[in-house]
Structures are given as structure tokens and as C-alpha cells.
């Protein structure tokens, strides 16, 4: 991972400014292991900076994503989750019956991504949205 100076340089060279709020949001994402919601980030940020508005958190996540420092993906329907950009890319299988989620190594996605590239010239990012379906257990015994 880059150090603080390199990161700030990267922010500035994109024409943006490094504010207290932006630093706090970035730090909160970096401290989280995986997949946190914007709301969780806002809560963590407000623990030390109570006056930072949720809208500022959302705007900063977007800005940091544009710079390539954080990125987001979708596990359950409709919910956006954020993580630092340098975690290894991977996919998710989410069972629509029991909600269980399984991680999928990037290598398992690559074959289908290559197929889409070849057939449609489309560079797919299969890690961005979870793959929904029915897991092995629920296919046998649907949950009550």
C-alpha cells in the first residue's frame, strides 16, 4: 500500500484537495477489513469527527473511488459496500434463500470474463455485483 504522502499527492494531482473530512473517510475505509456500508463508515468517522455530515461521507467515497483509492460492490440487492481498492479482486455467491455468502477467487471469474471479452468486446467486472442463486443446502432443504 502507498504511504500517506503518495496518497495525498495522488489526490492533489487529480485536481482535488485533501481535507480533514476526506482523510477521515479514507482512514475509516482502510481500517475496515472488507465490505463496509457507507452508513458504517459515517458512524466510524463521526466517532472522532462528530460534525461530518453523511452527505460528505458519500461524496468523499465517490471522489476516492474516482481516484482509485477505494471501490464499491454489491452483495445483497441494492446495498452498496465499500472497501479499499487494493484488496484482491474476488467474487461473491449469495444464496437468495438463506442469505449465505461465499467468496469466489478471481480466477474462477476469469474464464467467463474472457468469454464476454471475446464475444462482445466487453470487459466485465464480475466481482462488482454478487452472483445470486440457491446454495447447495437450500437446493436440498429450503429454509423455513
37 touches DNA by CB under 7 A: yes
CB nearer to a copy of itself: pick between 2 and 100: 100
34 touches a copy of itself by CB under 8 A: no
| Long-range contact set of residues 81-86: C-beta below 8 Å, sequence gap at least 24 | 81/34, 81/35, 81/36, 81/37, 82/29, 82/35, 82/36, 82/37, 82/38, 82/41, 83/29, 83/32, 83/34, 83/35, 83/36, 84/1, 84/29, 84/30, 84/32, 86/1
Query: Do 100 and 94 contact (CB within 8 A), yes or no?
Result: yes
| Binding window for DNA (CB under 7 A); candidates: 32-40, 95-103, 108-116, 118-126 | 32-40
Query: Do 83 and 71 contact (CB within 8 A), yes or no?
Result: yes
123 touches a copy of itself by CB under 8 A: yes
CB nearer to DNA: pick between 115 and 128: 128
CB nearer to DNA: pick between 49 and 113: 49
Q: What angle do CA 29, 85, 39 make, to 5 degrees?
A: 30
20 touches DNA by CB under 7 A: yes
| Binding window for a copy of itself (CB under 8 A); candidates: 7-15, 27-35, 47-55, 118-126 | 118-126
Least gap, CB of 135 to a copy of itself (angstroms): 6
62 touches a copy of itself by CB under 8 A: no
58 touches DNA by CB under 7 A: yes
In the set 10, 27, 32, 52, which binds DNA (CB under 7 A)?
Answer: 52
Amino acid at each position: 500500500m502507498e504511504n500517506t504522502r503518495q496518497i495525498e499527492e495522488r489526490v492533489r494531482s487529480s485536481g482535488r484537495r485533501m481535507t480533514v473530512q476526506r482523510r477521515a473517510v479514507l482512514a475509516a475505509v482502510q481500517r475496515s477489513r472488507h465490505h463496509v456500508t457507507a452508513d458504517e463508515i459515517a458512524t466510524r468517522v463521526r466517532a472522532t469527527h462528530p460534525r461530518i455530515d453523511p452527505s460528505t461521507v458519500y461524496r468523499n467515497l465517490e471522489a476516492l473511488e474516482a481516484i482509485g483509492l477505494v471501490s464499491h460492490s454489491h452483495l445483497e440487492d441494492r446495498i452498496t459496500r465499500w472497501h479499499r481498492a487494493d484488496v484482491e479482486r474476488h467474487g461473491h455467491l449469495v444464496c437468495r434463500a438463506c442469505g449465505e455468502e461465499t467468496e469466489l477467487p478471481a480466477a474462477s471469474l476469469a474464464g467467463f470474463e474472457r468469454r464476454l471479452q471475446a464475444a462482445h468486446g466487453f470487459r466485465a467486472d464480475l466481482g462488482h455485483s454478487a452472483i445470486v442463486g440457491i446454495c447447495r443446502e437450500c437446493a436440498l432443504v429450503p429454509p423455513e
